[in-house]
Amino acid sequence: MDRETIKLLSDLLDEKLEPIKARLDEHSAILNEHSAILKEHSSILKEHSSILNEHSAVLKEHSEILNKHSAILNKHSAILNEHSSILNEHSSILNEHSEILKVHSIKLDEHTQILRALEHSAQANKAEQDKMTNDIARIQGDIESIKKGLAGVELITANNWSDIVKIKSLIQ
């Protein structure tokens, strides 16, 4: 096999590998984009988790205050006629805390919905990344197969050159 044939084979292999390399580059770019989106979502998720923790602490504090007021209310109910003014004050405070609790419950529901949406988005991104990883692995397998085929062509070419040298030596 002469150099021109080898050059043609090399060009043919380059031509066949070019779309595979292009697909690999496309998949790598998509993977990088999804990684950036996932990082951004993780940051948002951290922020929402922090806010949720703060609201949980406030909710716990309010629950404790509510429990204290309920205990006071139980103690004063035995002497209701004497302490009705104290009971009215505590009822007012209890109403304020209930309103705060309602606001926090609404915010907690909103954050829960956002968190679920983010979790869904993260799962969708993970599935897409897994698909791309599988595609990349398959492409790498194809490239390895082509390399093995090329190694066989090189071996046959070397044997042909050896045969040509033997034939030339016999002719001379």
How does 15-47 read in b/e, with b if 16+ C-beta sit within 10 Å?
Answer: eebeeeeeebeebeeebeebeeebeebeeebee
Report the pLDDT value the prediction gives residue 77, as an integer from 0 to 100: 67
Q: What percentage of the chain exceeds 90 in pLDDT?
A: 60
CA dist 161 and 125 (Å) reads 53
Residue 128 has pLDDT above 90, yes or no: yes
Over residues 143-156, the pLDDT tens digits come to 999 999 889 898 89
Residue 80 has pLDDT above 70, yes or no: no
Over residues 5-53, the pLDDT tens digits come to 888 888 888 888 898 889 999 999 999 999 999 999 999 999 999 999 9
Report the pLDDT value the prediction gives residue 36, as an integer from 0 to 100: 93
Contact (Cβ atoms closer than 8 angstroms) between residue 1 and residue 161: yes
Report the pLDDT value the prediction gives residue 171, as an integer from 0 to 100: 85
How does 69-92 read in b/e, with b if 16+ C-beta sit within 10 Å?
Answer: beeebeeeeeeeeebeeeeeebee
Over residues 89-118, the pLDDT tens digits come to 889 999 999 999 999 999 999 999 999 998
Q: Give the pLDDT mean for 48-75.
A: 89
More confident call, 106 vs 82: 106
**List of domains in the chain:** 3-165 (1.10.287)
